[in-house]
Amino acid sequence: MKSFFLGTLVVLLLVPAAALAARPGQWTGPYVGLKVGLNHSSADGISSENAFTAGIYGGYDWMLSRSIVFGGSIFYLWNQDTGHDVCFAGVCGNVNGGSNVYGVDGRIGFPMGRSSQFMPYLKIGYAHIDLTGDFSGDDTGWRFGAGFEWQLAYNTSLTFEYTHADYGDDVGNWDNNNLTVGVNFRF
């Protein structure tokens, strides 16, 4: 399944740049994007730590009216391995751990501004996590978030986003909190 998501994202990134672009404030159509930022991860029995995160994604938005946009996307996020303090039965140590995350998100946005070029949005999704480094395991969980997208030109926009994801007992109740900035290319 992971290869399906990564393959789909590669195909989306190869869409010809000559495709028709949306006018500012027009949100209907496909897009691909890149983002970077900060990941804050934690789990049962380990310290909470901050690390670098980077991701790619692709999706499609539908502008239902001047004030409502619905959309969906697939994504892949890499969260850097970083040192976590661990204590078990009175013995403490340090382990390296990060994660690879992929999944699907849905969002609802609310365009505003004179040309509807600013859009705050809410999102909810479902993701699969694979732990990396000294940790092992994988699980699925819900994620939610909020963000803001700003169309700078006909086919380029900036995003600022926060997402939170909870994963179950298979990975020790792992949590990822990501704060990212990204760039979208609309077609």
Is the separation of the CB atoms in 116 and 68 below 8 Å? no
Question: Is pLDDT of 11 > 70?
Answer: no
- What length is written for the chain? 187
Q: Which residues pair with 86 in a beta bridge?
A: 46, 93
Burial letters for 76-95: b for 16+ Cβ neighbours within 10 Å, e otherwise?
Answer: bbbbbbbebebeeeeeeeee
Q: Which residue has the tokens 């590669």?
A: 10
Q: What is the pLDDT of residue 1?
A: 52
Q: Is 143 helix (H, G, I), strand (E, B) or coil?
A: strand
Phi then psi for residue 26, to 5 deg, are: -105, 115
Q: How confident is the model at residue 23 (pLDDT cuts 50, 70, 90)?
A: low
**What are the tens digits of pLDDT across the range 88-116?**
677 777 777 788 999 999 999 999 988 88
Residue 17 identity: A
Q: What is the pLDDT of residue 25?
A: 63
Residue 69: how many other CB atoms lie within 10 Å: 21
| pTM for the full predicted model | 0.81
**What are the tens digits of pLDDT across the range 25-82?**
689 999 999 999 999 988 877 778 889 999 999 999 999 988 999 999 999 999 987 7
Average pLDDT, the chain: 85
Q: What is the pLDDT of residue 22?
A: 43
Q: How confident is the model at residue 14 (pLDDT cuts 50, 70, 90)?
A: very low
* DSSP letters for 17-71: TTS--PPTT---EEEEEEEEEEEEEE-TTB--EEEEEEEEEEEEEEEEETTEEEE
Structural domains of the chain, ranges and CATH numbers in brackets: 2-186 (2.40.160.20)
